[in-house]
A and B are shown apart, each in its own frame.
Chain A
Amino acid sequence: MDRGGIMGTFEILKKLSEAPGVSGSEEGVSKIIAEEFKKYTDEVRVDALGNVIGLKKGTDPSPRRLMIAAHMDEIGFMVSEIEKGFIRFTTVGGVDERILPGQEVIVHGLRPLPGVIAAKPPHLLPPEERKKVTSRDQLFVDVGLPEEEVSSLVKVGDFISFQAKCIKLQGDMASGKAFDDRASVAALIYCLELLSQMKHRWDVYAVATSQEEMGLRGAVVSAYGIAPDLAIAIDVGFGDSPGLSEAETIKVGKGPAIAIGPNFHPLLREALIKTAKELEIPYQIEAIPGPSGTDAWAIQVSREGVPTALLSIPLRYMHTPVETLSIKDIERTGLLLANFISRLEKFPPE
């Protein structure tokens, strides 16, 4: 998968990862995505909930519609109170409170303010408190500025995002924040880029959805608006990591997982597996017996129902600022999607 002169997958991922875009305030990242979509699609629009929708037209005279979706929002925080120049906050999405003390953040006030989630030093903790997770009412964001300045720059309701560099690790591994689910957005972009050199019959609607972490809301309205005949959601799945069993996880570096379960249409799943096999793209099977917790869950029951599938990119340490994955898995996901789309004729297949 030589990408020639095109910006590499890591660079795209880094750009997406480092941009702010907490659920409900995705503008920081959606601008970048819209620019990328414009390079490879025929039209790009942003709907009422902020979903970025790129349409790449198919060659059929009256093409059917395929929706491919990945969410662009990230978990984060919101200012709830300002006390003596220190900021109290509430969480947006499933933030893991075990990792908060000592994290760097950006408070999106009148200007972006770098800050730290304040951790009381250990010298001053009673021993029993040292073993317990510090509850959020004991934590503050400190932007280091004098009280008056904080009051003039920050107001209740301002969003706060994690501040973390996206870095390369050994081999093809990378780490950063918001890979959930911007790694999948990077796969979408790669898919579109590949499709620009391929023929496809169906209209392809690539959607970077908003507010997934708040209850799949962007997917609900974008699926309604597009009314797809078929849909594939791309999200991250629990990658193997210390403390987790093989049964709970998929393997990082072994390709996207294709999901099986009530949320997914068996024939669509089989068609994806067939493409992966024919092209010898590594893939895994992930059994999801109930709610998938992904955009696929909302899209499947849009309007009169949509045959839906899910591709999962294996990800370690989900919902932390050090989410970790394999860049190759992102490319394999894009490659599988693009080839599936270029082969797509009838659904259900005859």
Chain B
Amino acid sequence: MLLKELSEARGVSGNEEKVREIIREHIKPYVNEISVDSMGNLIALKKGDGSLPIKVMLAAHMDEIGLMITHIDEKGYLYFRPVGGIDERILPGKRVLVGDKAIPGVIGLKPIHLLKEEERTQIVPAERLAIDIGAGDKGSAEKVVNIGDYATFDVAFQELGSRRVKGKAFDDRAGCAVLAELVKEQYPFDLYAVFTVQEEVGLRGAKVAAYAIEPDVAFSIEGTVADDLPKEKDVSPTTRLGHGPAITLMDRSFVAFHPLVRLLVEAAEAEGIPYQFKQPLVGGTDSGAIHLTKKGVPSATVAVPCRYIHSPVSILSLDDFENTIRLMKAALKRLRPEHLKIE
């Protein structure tokens, strides 16, 4: 399963190469041109039959959050800084893989027995945590790890039953897997499938890719927050697992282009595909960069709901995943010039 392969591949922002190679191999038979730009974005062109002379850009980001090694101390412990929005609470007590050689290590912390009372309720800031690879001293550590090496969480993909799966980096390897399916179809327009880099550090890959492509319309495909845990207060969840792809109306990075939202809803209803709206003003995606490109690009975002994104293990529903593919296919099939204009 491509989703499994992509979830287990390691590619923190700025180091997306392994993910890129998997995707490139996978989509090669289905597209007309493939290129990699100076930042590492993988851009695939699938030519249309010319009946709808527009350029449609689909974006999903390849990068994942992770850690970067910044210092190796005399005892061989590796100190690090987070890459992307990492929740400090989830770092201690985790296994990681460091550098291209995937050296195993663990993030330990002072045992509970030796804590002062006040320490028990305070999280340990990331800068005070260290990765232990069992090196014993600086020299041995430096034989296998360099400053600047990336570290990823060591998490296996697993099926949980009832079409639910767990794994790391579903944000946004789920989107990449959706996109890799979408390029298999034939469309009337030129389709640019863009697997972007550096989304997690500021939507940077999408910015330059959109500039180069100059799309007439763009869709970002994401793995987005599903926070449907029971809550004390009655707060609507951002999205719900198992309730279909999430269509963004407005998040922190952009306001979705209304005619495209309408297109998505019509497509879903016409083909009986479940969908939900993502609660407004949570998160941001590549659309934030794309819609501001040059004179502006009509843009929308569709996402696979994922629980616990930005933590080592997330959970998604394969039904949602497949319905995201169906919804995008249905919408792209119905895309007309009028969807690119505000009435």
Contacts of A238 in B (CB 8 A): 111, 113-114
A247 to B297, CA, bound (A): 63
CB <8 Å contact, B110 and A244 = yes
Interfacial residues of chain A within 183-222, with CB under 8 A of chain B in the complex = none
Contacts of A142 in B (CB 8 A): 229, 307-308, 315
CB <8 Å contact, A102 and B108 = no
Q: Which of B15-23, B54-62, B130-138, B203-211 contacts A (4 or more CB under 8 A)?
A: B130-138
CB <8 Å contact, B110 and A243 = yes
B310 touches which of A99, A121, A320 (Cβ 8 Å): A121
Known: A121-B87, A242-B130, A320-B108. 11 other contacts (CB 8 A): A95-B112, A116-B313, A119-B87, A122-B87, A123-B85, A143-B160, A145-B161, A169-B105, A169-B132, A170-B133, A242-B108
Tell me whether B123 is interfacial, beta carbon within 8 Å. yes
Interfacial residues of chain A within 268-296, with CB under 8 A of chain B in the complex = 293
Interfacial residues of chain A within 304-350, with CB under 8 A of chain B in the complex = 316-322, 324
Q: A102-B308, A121-B310, A132-B121 are in contact. Are A317 and B111 (CB under 8 A)?
A: yes
CB <8 Å contact, A324 and B87 = no
Tell me whether A103 is interfacial, beta carbon within 8 Å. yes
Interfacial residues of chain B within 125-156, with CB under 8 A of chain A in the complex = 128-130, 132-136, 140-141, 144, 154-155
CB <8 Å contact, A322 and B110 = no
CB <8 Å contact, A167 and B160 = no
CB <8 Å contact, B109 and A243 = yes
Tell me whether A253 is interfacial, beta carbon within 8 Å. yes
A248 to B238, CA, bound (A): 46
CB distance from B285 to the nearest CB of A (A): 12
Tell me whether B88 is interfacial, beta carbon within 8 Å. yes
CB <8 Å contact, B113 and A318 = yes
Tell me whether A3 is interfacial, beta carbon within 8 Å. no
CB <8 Å contact, B112 and A124 = no
CB <8 Å contact, A99 and B93 = yes
Tell me whether A241 is interfacial, beta carbon within 8 Å. yes
Tell me whether B43 is interfacial, beta carbon within 8 Å. no
CB distance from A18 to the nearest CB of B (A): 13
Tell me whether A175 is interfacial, beta carbon within 8 Å. yes
CB <8 Å contact, A133 and B121 = yes
Interfacial residues of chain B within 297-328, with CB under 8 A of chain A in the complex = 307-313, 315
CB distance from B84 to the nearest CB of A (A): 11
Q: A102-B90, A102-B94, A146-B162 are in contact. Are A122 and B85 (CB under 8 A)?
A: yes
Tell me whether B166 is interfacial, beta carbon within 8 Å. yes
Interface string of A76-88 (1 = CB under 8 A from B): 0000000110100
B312 touches which of A102, A131, A243 (Cβ 8 Å): A102
CB distance from A132 to the nearest CB of B (A): 6
CB <8 Å contact, B94 and A120 = no
A132 to B118, CA, bound (A): 11
CB <8 Å contact, B313 and A131 = no
B89 touches which of A101, A114, A116, A143 (Cβ 8 Å): A101
Interface string of A119-156 (1 = CB under 8 A from B): 11111110000111110000010111110010000000
Q: A94-B112, A140-B230 are in contact. Are A99 and B92 (CB under 8 A)?
A: yes
Tell me whether A118 is interfacial, beta carbon within 8 Å. yes
A131 touches which of B122, B141, B238, B307 (Cβ 8 Å): B122
A164 to B141, CA, bound (A): 24
Contacts of A31 in B (CB 8 A): none
Q: A104-B313, A116-B315, A122-B87 are in contact. Are A244 and B93 (CB under 8 A)?
A: no
Residue of B nearest to A326 (CB): B134
CB <8 Å contact, A132 and B135 = no
CB distance from B24 to the nearest CB of A (A): 30
Q: Which B residues have a C-beta under 8 Å from some C-beta of A?
A: 77, 85-90, 92-95, 103-114, 120-124, 128-130, 132-136, 140-141, 144, 154-155, 158, 160-162, 164-166, 225, 227, 229-230, 238, 242, 282-283, 307-313, 315
CB distance from A318 to the nearest CB of B (A): 4
Q: A102-B311, A317-B109 are in contact. Are A133 and B166 (CB under 8 A)?
A: no
**Complex A-B: 20 CB contacts under 8 Å:** A94-B112, A96-B111, A98-B123, A102-B312, A102-B313, A124-B282, A130-B87, A144-B161, A144-B162, A144-B164, A144-B165, A145-B162, A167-B104, A170-B103, A170-B141, A175-B104, A238-B114, A242-B108, A242-B130, A324-B132
A344 to B51, CA, bound (A): 93
Q: A96-B112, A173-B134 are in contact. Are A124 and B238 (CB under 8 A)?
A: yes
A84 touches which of B120, B132, B230 (Cβ 8 Å): B230
Tell me whether A165 is interfacial, beta carbon within 8 Å. yes
Interface string of A226-254 (1 = CB under 8 A from B): 00000000000010011110001000010
Q: A170-B140, A242-B77, A244-B110 are in contact. Are A121 and B309 (CB under 8 A)?
A: yes
Contacts of A119 in B (CB 8 A): 87, 89-90, 308, 311
By size class, the interface of chain A is 35 or more
Contacts of B107 in A (CB 8 A): 322
Q: B77, B88, B90, B154 — which one has the most chain A CB atoms within 10 A of its CB? A: B90
Q: A144-B315, A145-B161 are in contact. Are A120 and B111 (CB under 8 A)?
A: no
A122 to B87, CA, bound (A): 6
CB distance from A173 to the nearest CB of B (A): 3
CB <8 Å contact, B140 and A316 = no
Contacts of A98 in B (CB 8 A): 89, 92, 109, 112, 120, 123-124
B114 touches which of A130, A248, A320 (Cβ 8 Å): A248
CB <8 Å contact, A132 and B160 = no
Q: A165-B95, A167-B95 are in contact. Are A320 and B109 (CB under 8 A)?
A: yes
Contacts of A140 in B (CB 8 A): 229-230
CB <8 Å contact, A244 and B158 = no
CB <8 Å contact, A116 and B93 = no
Q: A123-B282, A316-B132 are in contact. Are A171 and B140 (CB under 8 A)?
A: yes
Tell me whether A47 is interfacial, beta carbon within 8 Å. no
Residue of B nearest to A120 (CB): B227
A142 to B307, CA, bound (A): 9
Q: A122, A164, A170 — which one has the most chain B CB atoms within 10 A of its CB? A: A170
Tell me whether A97 is interfacial, beta carbon within 8 Å. yes
CB distance from B50 to the nearest CB of A (A): 42
Contacts of B312 in A (CB 8 A): 102
CB <8 Å contact, A118 and B229 = yes
